[in-house]
Every structure is written in C-alpha cells, then in structure tokens.
C-alpha cells in the first residue's frame, strides 16, 4: 500500500507541476493541456484525495522502513504545497481581474462585488458544477437554418423584461467538435439571472464542412437574433457576442466583419444591421495564420489543423484566405469594444496571441479594449465554476453592461438645437493666441472639430468631461492626428462651454467614427467661410452657418 500511495503522490506532484509550469515539448506538450487543466482546476480535490490516501495508508499500516516513510511524507507535502499555490491563484483572480479592468487606459471598469452575484453563490462555486437556475426557461433546438446543425437554444427567466440585452455565445472545439450545451454555462447563467436573454448556437463542423461553413452559420445565427429575438424578450439592437477558444475566434470575427457581406446568408432578408455592441473573447484563437511571432512555438500545430481539417487548403497557396479569417488582421477603426480574457499558462493558445491582438487593437481601433491575463491558468478554465471563473464572469458582466446602455435618439428638439453651430467657436493657435474657427481655417486650412464633453447632450461635471477630453486626446495622439485645442460657446443659452480639438489632415470617416465612439450626436467641419454641422450617424448634415 505504501508503494501505491507513493506512486499516486508522485503522479499528483507531476500533475500539479504541469499546471504550474506546463511543458512545451514532446510528451510533456501532449499532456500539458489535459493533465494541467485538471490539476489547475481541481486543486482542492487533489488535496482531499491526498489526505484520503494518507488516511488509508495509516489504517492499512504505516511503512516500517524509514526511507519509504520519508518518500511518502515528502511527496505528500509537495502535493499539498503545489495545490495550495494553485488554490491561492484561483482566489487571487478576483484581485487581478479588478486591477486589469480598473487600470485600462480607456474607460476603466469597476468589477461587481461577489455578494452582488445573481446566481454564482459561494456554495455553487465550491461544488464547481455549473448547475443552471431552476427557474430559468430553456427553449431548445430552435431551427435557424436548413441544416441539421442549424439549431440554437434561448435561455431566459420568466421575469425577464421586454427589450432585454442579449448575450450570444459561440462554443469552441477546434472548429471540429463541441456543442451549444457544453461551454460558457457559469457566465450565461449569471447573465440570465441578471435579466439578459442568452442565445447559444451549434454550427456545422469540419472536416465534414470546410471553412467558411462555421462563420457562415454564426452569421446566420446573428441574422436570426436580429429578426426574431424580440419574440423572446430580447433587444436585437443590444447584442454582445462571446465565445471560448474556436468560439472566441468566431465571435471576434463576427464582431469585426459587420460591414463585410462575404459570410452573410443569401436566403435571409430583412436584416440591415449586422453589428454587435461588443465582443467577449475567452482564450480565443485571435490569429489564424500560425505566425510564430504571435504563437511562440504553437503556430505549426494550428497551421496543420487548419490545413488538414478546417480550411483544407494550404496556407502557402492561399495566405489571403487565412488572413481574411484572422481577427488580428481585420481590426479596423470601427471595431466594437472588446474584452479579452487569457490564461498565461495556456498551451493551446499562446498568451502572446492575446497580448498582440490587444496591442494591435489599441493601435488601430477607436473603441476601448479590456484585457485580463490570469496567471497559472490553462485553456478552457471557465468550464468549471471555480473562484477564478466567478471573477471572470463578473468581468464579462461589467463589460457587457457598459456597452449595451441604450443611446438616446436624435429627437426633434435635439435636431433643432443642433441645426446651427455655436455662436462662438474658437481655436487655440498658440498658448497666447486663440482665434475664431474660420480665421483658423484661413491660416491653417480646413479642419474638423471634435469634442468628448457631455455625451449625447447629457450635462457632465467638469472632472468627468476633463477625463473624457484626455481620453480623446490620447486617441488622436495614437493615430498621429495633428490637433489644436478648441472651445465652443453658445451665449444664447445656459449650456456650458465645450472643449475639444480642431483636427487636421484626416478624413471625415475617421472623424465620424471618433465622434460616434465618444457618444456625440455631431461634429463640425470648418473652412474659411462656413461652419457645417455633421451628424455622427452618417445621415444628412444638420445645418450650416454661412459667413459672407
């Protein structure tokens, strides 16, 4: 029995070591995910098993030889120590998530408190089994298309209000396996309990169906949501898409291709808005060419999988196809807000894939992106309802809530208010000289005027406006935009001065996207004779002031 306990302890030592420091070569690489995941997610159970083994050994008879006794004790101690480290890492996740959200360079978020969870109670977390709420309504296997895999589930509560926001979840499984019932459940249960409508879909799988069948089906599901989710209490204009692993790839690709008709179903009519409010990528495959600059040794495995089973075309002959399906290569100005969650010990999707995606997003896109990196965390960590999963669920709630807030509409009264420029629009040409905007245009050439103050004409306090102004300045600086401070005043009413920037040498498309991201109804175009008011939604100009 002593030898059996020693062997069990030795295996558990190696398992926990794999979770703490997974191998990248040979047999260690093959075992890194299955062994490391189990050890990383079940450290409490490992200590319980070790204690039970010692209890049995004590009952059976403690080894009489001192050497064997020492080996058993040392191995058992190492097992406990390693798993205590893993337990601490799980409980530290909440602090790490809170820090990462609060330290975001754009629009920091506040992590909800554990006691405010609507469903993720401490005892459910201790069980680690993602039971669904008993009072949750599940509508199974709704057909969203003609194929057998074209089925989706809708989750909601009987008390879910009408026009509720929608969380759309896409399962992972290397594009070759998986099911809508298996993944993301702790997160979806929390959203549903908080009054959201959840949608989870199946999609056609490779190799039976080669790419782009997978993204075509996810896009078809979004079309179904846009057309029919209102019948289930959801708001088709407030959709957040999410997914894990391959599902994180498909969710990100869907979010980044709203203006690309390539994957839209030809037999679906009546959908004009293919956008989502935000995307949550959980350990997603965000780079699809296998470039080792991002993958750090794991790219070859991805390339083999894609070439042989998913795309079924060689990268060397079709590099554009691989870039087209790669979220990293599709980041644009108009990308919606993102939340990226990644484990630092992930041996299927290297952590640098997420880091590089976030860096590229911050360099190119105008919307904010939030990045949470979890130490000692393997791929697919959120399958179980652990303390770490609870922390990341709160992050997804904070993010999704922030991006689905209903935007005011341009009413007739607002239209009238915006129909003419302010009575005074000044541009600072130097620290000691500010001139009328048209005079500035005569000296410097035509320009645009942007502000971040008082979003949607809601009067914010000066401290908040100053913070938003600094954020706008950072965005313009990152995109290399030449700018001068401006101030708009309207002496005819009590509306406060609005500070912003006159921007030069850029396009109206860029200006419009910036105004939209900063929740502005309008922006100005200025030349040497006119100030024109433009709507940020791209519709017809509101009005202009002619100076003769």
Is 103 an active-site residue? no
Same domain, yes or no: 501 and 518: yes
Instruction: Please report the pLDDT score of residue 129 as a whole number.
Output: 66
Same domain, yes or no: 149 and 244: yes
Check: CB of residue 175 under 8 Å from CB of residue 210: no
Cα–Cα distances in Å, from 101 out to 31, 113, 216, 343, 391? Answer: 33, 13, 32, 16, 11
Residue 491 within any structural domain of the chain = yes
Catalytic hit among 242, 245, 326, 390: 245
Cα–Cα distance measured from residue 399 to residue 279, given in angstroms and rounded to the nearest whole number: 9
Cα–Cα distance measured from residue 12 to residue 76, given in angstroms and rounded to the nearest whole number: 9
* HSE-up (13 A, CA, CB side) for residue 173: 19
Same domain, yes or no: 145 and 293: yes
Which residues constitute the domain of residue 427? 412-546
pLDDT per residue as tens, the chain (548 positions): 889 999 999 999 999 999 999 988 777 777 899 999 999 999 999 999 999 999 999 888 888 888 899 999 999 999 999 999 999 999 999 999 999 999 988 889 999 988 888 876 666 666 666 777 778 999 999 999 999 999 999 999 989 999 999 999 999 999 999 999 989 999 999 999 999 999 999 999 999 999 999 999 999 999 999 999 999 999 999 999 999 999 999 999 999 999 999 999 999 999 999 999 999 999 999 999 999 999 999 999 999 999 999 999 999 999 999 999 999 999 999 999 999 999 999 999 999 999 999 999 999 999 999 999 999 999 999 988 899 999 999 999 999 999 998 777 777 777 766 766 788 999 999 989 999 999 999 999 999 999 999 998 888 999 999 999 999 999 999 999 999 999 998 877 778 899 999 999 999 999 999 999 999 999 999 999 999 999 888 776 665 544 33
Instruction: Please report the pLDDT score of residue 124 as a whole number.
Output: 64
Same domain, yes or no: 392 and 416: no
> How many structural domains does the chain have?
3
Catalytic hit among 100, 153, 235, 346: 346
Same domain, yes or no: 133 and 77: no
Q: CB neighbours of 105 closer than 8 A, spacing ≥ 6?
A: 362, 474
Residue 489 within any structural domain of the chain = yes
Same domain, yes or no: 225 and 148: yes
Same domain, yes or no: 397 and 420: no
Check: CB of residue 111 under 8 Å from CB of residue 101: yes
Residue 236 within any structural domain of the chain = yes
Residue 114 within any structural domain of the chain = no
Left, alpha or beta for 234 (phi > 0: left; psi -120 to 50: alpha)?
beta
Check: CB of residue 372 under 8 Å from CB of residue 100: yes
Residue 375 within any structural domain of the chain = no
Instruction: Please report the pLDDT score of residue 223 as a whole number.
Output: 98
Same domain, yes or no: 124 and 81: no
Residue 374 within any structural domain of the chain = no
Give the CATH number of the domain where residue 236 resides: 3.40.50.1820
Neighbours of 84 (CB within 10 A): 14
Instruction: Please report the pLDDT score of residue 546 as a whole number.
Output: 42
Same domain, yes or no: 164 and 232: yes
Is 379 an active-site residue? yes
Q: What distance lies between CA 453 and its chain's CA centroid?
A: 26
Check: CB of residue 545 under 8 Å from CB of residue 531: yes
Catalytic hit among 249, 352, 379, 499: 379
Residue 101 within any structural domain of the chain = no
Same domain, yes or no: 390 and 431: no
Same domain, yes or no: 364 and 418: no
The domain boundary residue, chosen from 42, 77, 94: 94
Is 150 an active-site residue? no
**Per-residue b or e along 115-146, where b marks 16 or more CB atoms closer than 10 Å to that residue's CB:** eebbbbeeebbeebebeeeeebbeeeeeebbe
Same domain, yes or no: 346 and 470: no
The pTM score is: 0.92
Residue 35 within any structural domain of the chain = yes
């Amino acid at each position: 029995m002593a030898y059996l306990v020693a062997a069990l302890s030795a295996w558990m030592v190696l398992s926990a070591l794999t979770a703490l420091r997974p191998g990248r070569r040979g047999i260690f690489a093959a075992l890194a995910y299955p062994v490391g995941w189990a050890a990383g997610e079940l450290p409490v159970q490992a200590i319980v098993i070790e204690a039970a083994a010692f209890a049995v050994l004590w009952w059976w008879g403690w080894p009489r030889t001192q050497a064997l006794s020492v080996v058993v004790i040392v191995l058992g101690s190492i097992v406990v120590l390693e798993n205590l480290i893993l337990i601490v890492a799980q409980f530290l996740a909440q602090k790490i998530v809170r820090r990462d959200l609060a330290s975001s360079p754009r629009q920091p978020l506040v992590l909800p408190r554990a006691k405010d969870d609507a469903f993720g109670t401490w005892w459910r977390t201790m069980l680690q089994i993602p039971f669904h709420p008993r009072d949750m309504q599940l509508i199974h296997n709704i057909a969203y298309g003609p194929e057998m895999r074209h089925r989706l589930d809708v989750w909601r509560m009987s008390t879910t209000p009408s026009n509720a926001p929608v969380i759309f979840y896409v399962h992972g499984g290397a594009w070759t396996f998986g099911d809508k019932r298996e993944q993301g459940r702790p997160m979806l249960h929390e959203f549903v309990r908080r009054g959201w409508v959840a949608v989870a879909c199946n999609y056609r799988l490779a190799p039976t169906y080669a790419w782009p069948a997978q993204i075509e089906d996810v896009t078809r599901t979004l079309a179904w949501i846009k057309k029919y989710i209102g019948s289930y209490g959801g708001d088709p204009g407030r959709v957040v898409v999410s997914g894990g692993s391959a599902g994180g790839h498909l969710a990100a690709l869907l979010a980044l291709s709203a203006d690309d008709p390539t994957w839209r179903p030809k037999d679906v009519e009546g959908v004009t808005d293919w956008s989502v409010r935000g995307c949550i990528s959980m350990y997603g495959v965000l780079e699809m060419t296998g470039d080792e600059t991002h993958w750090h040794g794991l790219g070859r495995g991805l390339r083999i999988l894609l070439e042989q089973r998913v795309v079924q075309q060689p990268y060397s002959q079709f590099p554009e196809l691989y870039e087209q399906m790669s979220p990293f290569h599709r980041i644009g100005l108009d990308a919606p807000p993102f939340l990226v969650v990644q484990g630092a010990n992930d041996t299927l999707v290297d952590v640098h894939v997420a880091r590089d995606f976030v860096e590229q997003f911050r360099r190119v896109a105008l919307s904010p992106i939030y990045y949470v990196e979890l130490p000692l965390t393997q791929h697919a960590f959120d399958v179980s309802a652990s303390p770490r999963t609870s922390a990341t669920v709160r992050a997804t709630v904070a993010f999704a809530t922030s991006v689905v807030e209903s935007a005011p509409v341009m009413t007739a009264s607002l239209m009238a208010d915006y129909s003419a420029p302010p009575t005074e629009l000044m541009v600072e040409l130097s620290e000691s000289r500010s001139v009328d905007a048209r005079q500035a245009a005569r000296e410097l050439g035509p320009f645009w005027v942007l502000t971040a103050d008082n979003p949607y004409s809601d009067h914010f306090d000066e401290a908040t406006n100053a913070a938003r102004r600094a954020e706008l300045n950072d965005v313009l600086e990152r995109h290399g935009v030449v700018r001068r401070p401006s101030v708009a005043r309207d002496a005819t009413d009590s509306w406060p001065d609005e500070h912003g920037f006159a921007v030069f040498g850029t396009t109206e498309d860029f200006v419009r996207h910036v105004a939209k991201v900063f929740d502005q109804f309008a922006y100005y175009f200025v030349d040497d004779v006119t100030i024109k008011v433009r709507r940020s939604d791209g519709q017809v100009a509101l009005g202009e002031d002619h100076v003769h």
